Amino acid sequence: MDKRTCLYEKHIGLEAKMVSFGGFEMPIQYTDITDEHLAVRQHCGVFDVSHMGEVLVTGPEAERFVQHIFTNDVKGLEAGKILYGMMLHENGGTIDDLLVYKEADDRFFLVINAANIDKDYAWISSEAQKYDVKAENQSEYYGQIAVQGPDTERIVESVLGLECKELVFYTFKHIEVDGETIIVSRTGYTGEDGFEIYGSHKFIQQAWDKLLACGEVKPCGLGCRDTLRFEVGLPLYGDELTDDLSPLEAGLGMFCKLDKEEFVGREAVAKQKEEGLTRKIVGIELEGKAIPRHGYEVVVNDEVVGHVTTGYNSIMTGKSVCMALVDIAYAKLDTPVQVRIHRKLHNGVVVKKRFYQKSYKK
Amino acid sequence: MAKVIEGLYYAESHEYVRVEGEFGYVGITDYAQSQLGNVTYVDMPEVDDEVTAGEEFGAVESVKAASDVISPVSGTIVEINEALEDQPELINQDAFANWIIKVQLSDPSEVENLMDAAAYEAICK
């Protein structure tokens, strides 16, 4: 039985099409994926992302512990800043990708993927036993919305009354509202400017209602969340990152700080880097409009050289594009490849994964 | 409420065939297009390809999903609806007018295995 978020009743009221995602019953679309996608690129959209997991790490060894489980480097990071990175298995495969919010030297807030909450928390808890830290799964407490798009700053300030102008990209702050402390961060998963807001179920429900009532914000489902993140080349755990794929293979090496003293999986990733990769996630642009989907074969000279991880007809460019995991011999830009779509081979070429330019406010 | 037209034959997998003489026009039903949402691409076979009743011959795609199209009849494709190549959304506008393939039927009696409008309407509820 799938879980429901604190905004479930709102989705039903809006007649959203609901699907199972990461163990939650979530809206995939309210009206139409394309309209919702465009709302975020051009104005403002709000997503229920309450399914995301939150883990609070506290204690005297919190920083040392986060350094141990996280591929990015939080040493010397200022409070109020956020880093993206991964947690890895010893063999370099990816347990999850996550955001780490530094609240203080002894306090870090980890935001993880819904589908991985149980797996992550079990692993974090077991690693935490070796440190003087406490790791607390707060996923049940927090609701979360992502408000995304070029008009978001003005709307979050005026409609929600949250001062957020001064936040730069990948920073956050706590705000006291009606006796509770909420978290507002300038982050997102769409390639547009925007904020993610964490609070009690009651606060999130009220914020959702206010945003929808103002008439300027479109409710957006997971369908366009996927088309938006894909278009700007952001990975989705389960597609471009898995237990069997390392961040290097996913092209996310910049988030793996191999010069750090240690983190779980560091040796495996360092070895991969030294010996060279055997496969890599690339972008592919196809001729024509046929849509490459997850799992479709990438073919060169009648030989399967990889598989599509995510693909769409890009809503902003109209081109059929995909990300695919391919043998390293075919990973160079401009390499001609084919994708098998419903029996037929379609010609394409390896391109950069960023199919559309991000417009963050830095 | 999805539209159903009298006189066509319907498959459980939501395709229809309109029989005119020795030919059948095959497409997806109005119910199928409404479930799929905005159609962004129609993957079509080629003229002279053989189709077999119960087997897929193409796909209709929305942004999120690809849905196989299964032929309700057997025969040889004599024409494909080329308008769908540039305007796949025609299927949303009128699924029954915008058939996908025209088939020369090899066994016209096969339509007896399909549903009439009343029976099909009942399964769409």
The whole-angstrom separation of Cα A299 and Cα A37 is 31
The whole-angstrom separation of Cα A111 and Cα A97 is 9
Coil/strand/helix, residue A221: coil
pLDDT of residue B121: 94
pLDDT of residue B14: 96
Q: Which residues of chain A have pLDDT under 50?
A: none
What is the helix (H) or strand (E) element at residue B102, kind and residue range? strand B101-105
Question: Contact B110/B74 with Cβ under 8 angstroms?
Answer: yes
- Give the pairing type, strands A45-48 and A218-220: parallel
pLDDT of residue A23: 95
What is the helix (H) or strand (E) element at residue B25, kind and residue range? strand B23-28
**The pLDDT of residue B37 is above 90:** no
Question: Residue A291 gets which letter from DSSP?
Answer: P
Mutate to test the interface with A, among B40, B57, B89 (most CBs of A within 10 A): B40
Question: Which of B37, B41, B59 comes nearest A32 by C-beta?
Answer: B37
Give how far the C-alpha of residue A211 lies from the chain's centroid of Cα atoms, to the nearest Å. 23
Using one digit for the tens of pLDDT, what is the confidence trace for A279-305? 999 999 999 989 999 999 999 999 999
The whole-angstrom separation of Cα A178 and Cα A1 is 34
For residue B17, give how far its alpha carbon lies from the nearest alpha carbon of chain A (Å).
Answer: 22
The whole-angstrom separation of Cα A146 and Cα A221 is 11
For residue B64, give how far its alpha carbon lies from the nearest alpha carbon of chain A (Å).
Answer: 7
pLDDT of residue B118: 95
Positions of E strands within chain A: 17-21, 24-29, 45-48, 53-58, 82-88, 94-104, 107-112, 134-137, 143-148, 172-177, 180-185, 194-199, 218-220, 279-286, 297-300, 303-313, 320-327, 336-341, 344-351
Chain A residues 295-354 within an 8 A CB cutoff of chain B? 312-313, 315, 341-342, 344
pLDDT of residue B125: 76
**The pLDDT of residue B1 is above 80:** no
Question: What string of DSSP letters covers A28-74?
Answer: EESS-HHHHHHHHHHS-EEEE-TTSEEEEEESTTHHHHHHHH-SS--
pLDDT of residue B66: 87
Give the residue on A whose Cα is nearest the Cα of B44: A342
Q: Distance between the two ends of chain B, CA-based, in angstroms? A: 9
pLDDT band at residue B112 using 50, 70 and 90 as cut-offs: very high
Give the residue on A whose Cα is nearest the Cα of B84: A289
Using one digit for the tens of pLDDT, what is the confidence trace for B49-102? 999 999 999 999 998 888 999 999 999 999 999 999 999 999 999 999 999 999
Question: Contact A33/B63 with Cβ under 8 angstroms?
Answer: yes
Q: Is A18 on the interface with B (CB under 8 A)?
A: no
Using one digit for the tens of pLDDT, what is the confidence trace for A297-348? 999 999 999 999 999 999 999 999 999 999 999 999 999 999 999 889 999 9
In this structure, is the dihedral angle defined by the CA atoms of residues A136, A140, A141 and A146, taken in order, positive or negative? positive
Question: Contact A154/A206 with Cβ under 8 angstroms?
Answer: no
Secondary structure, 3-state, B35-96? HHCCEEEEECCCCCCEECCCCEEEEEEECCCEEEEECCCCEEEEEECCHHHHCCCHHHHCCC
Give φ, ψ of A217 to 5 degrees.
Answer: -120, 130
Q: Is B47 on the interface with A (CB under 8 A)?
A: no
Mutate to test the interface with A, among B61, B63, B80, B86 (most CBs of A within 10 A): B63
pLDDT of residue B64: 81
The whole-angstrom separation of Cα B99 and Cα B80 is 8
Question: Contact B115/B12 with Cβ under 8 angstroms?
Answer: yes
Q: Which residues of A touch B43 (CB under 8 A)?
A: 290, 341-342, 344
Question: Residue A346 gets which letter from DSSP?
Answer: E
Coil/strand/helix, residue A209: helix
Place of tokens 């103002």: A214
Q: Which residues of B touch A223 (CB under 8 A)?
A: 63-64
pLDDT of residue A157: 97
Coil/strand/helix, residue A21: strand
